[in-house]
Amino acid sequence: MHPLIRLVARRIALGILLLLAASVLIFAGTEVLPGDVASAILGQGATEKTLANLREALGLDRPAVVRYFEWLGGVLQGDLGTSLTNRRDIATTLAGRMSNTLFLAFWAAVIAVPLAILLGLVAVRYQGRWPDKLISGTTLASISVPEFLLGYIAAFFLAVQFKLLPSVATMHGGMDLGDKLMAIALPVLVLVLTVLGHMMRMTRAAILNVMQSAYIETAELKGLSPFAVIARHALPNAIAPVVNVVMINLAYLVVGVVVVEVVFVYPGMGQYLVDHVAKRDVPVVQACGLIFAAVYIGLNLLADLISIIANPRLRHPK
């Protein structure tokens, strides 16, 4: 077997093991959540007999280990279970919610990734001068502010004071693309400000790390402009750490949108998860947690594979 194929197979196997471990932690975490699903469904007036009957009907009276393997077996067959509060199929409901979350994350990534790389190149080009200080200071400030506070500040000024954008990201099937983009403008802005700083600063640091190399001096002696040296020679050799941080932030755009979706009442997976945590709907919480874990592990695995393929030194560590 080719060494590259063997290395990729090892990383994929490790990703599967991590996902399995995450499923155990998610199930165990939901088991120790305070409160009781049966009590939440029946209310305070329920008797012990009705509570016991409902727990038996929901399968909550069986050992946790048995329920875990039944849940895991269903997940492997594409069955995420049924919501305890409304008896709806979780996979069917999550399909629409996941598409909304991916739509939001896609447009945030389309703006954030190219802008972060461009700002990183400009910061390197003008290292130590006012453009570099302005870009670094602004992005550092943006990542230092919590997402919910950024959301409230953006909504106050852009929606309440100047009435430029809607404060609530309402989505429905009859909207065209322009209306959808207008609806998600504020959440996208907050997500871009949240992830832009990480990607820009990593791009800047990775490029500066290779700027002292001999081939950079050769390119400068050939008469290339400073920006051409950075874009054509430094950036390609610094692509591995840049890809890693981009993938991690893309994972955040899918996994970490919970706060932003709640702030703007966006009908995505984050809002769906928060609603059912409040209802103690354990199967929904487990399904959302497993999907978030799979996305995060998958994108990190993809980042590792891209770095290995792009960097010969990682393909031949010896």
The answer as to CATH 3.40.50.300 being correct for domain 99-280 is no
- CB within 8 A of 211, min separation 6: which ones? 124, 230, 234
Name the burial class of residue 202, with classes exposed (0-12), middle (13-18) and buried (19+) by CB atoms within 10 angstroms of its CB: buried
E strand or H helix at 155: none
Task: Annotate 34-58 with b (16+ C-beta within 10 A) or e (fewer).
Answer: eeebbeebeeeebeeeebeebbeeb
Residue 171 has phi, psi (to 5 degrees) of -130, 140
pTM of the model: 0.84
Map out the domains of the chain as residue ranges.
Answer: 99-280
Q: What is the pLDDT of residue 40?
A: 67
Name the burial class of residue 313, with classes exposed (0-12), middle (13-18) and buried (19+) by CB atoms within 10 angstroms of its CB: exposed
Q: What is the pLDDT of residue 17?
A: 94
Average pLDDT for runs of 10 along the chain of length 318? 76 91 89 70 73 76 84 88 83 89 92 91 89 90 88 92 88 84 93 90 86 81 82 78 82 84 90 83 88 89 78 58
- CB within 8 A of 20, min separation 6: which ones? none
Cα 30–Cα 33–Cα 39 angle in degrees, nearest 5:
105
Residue 263 has phi, psi (to 5 degrees) of -60, -40
The string of DSSP letters for 198-251 reads HHHHHHHHHHHHHTTSHHHHHHHHTT--HHHHIIIIIHHHTHHHHHHHHHHHHH
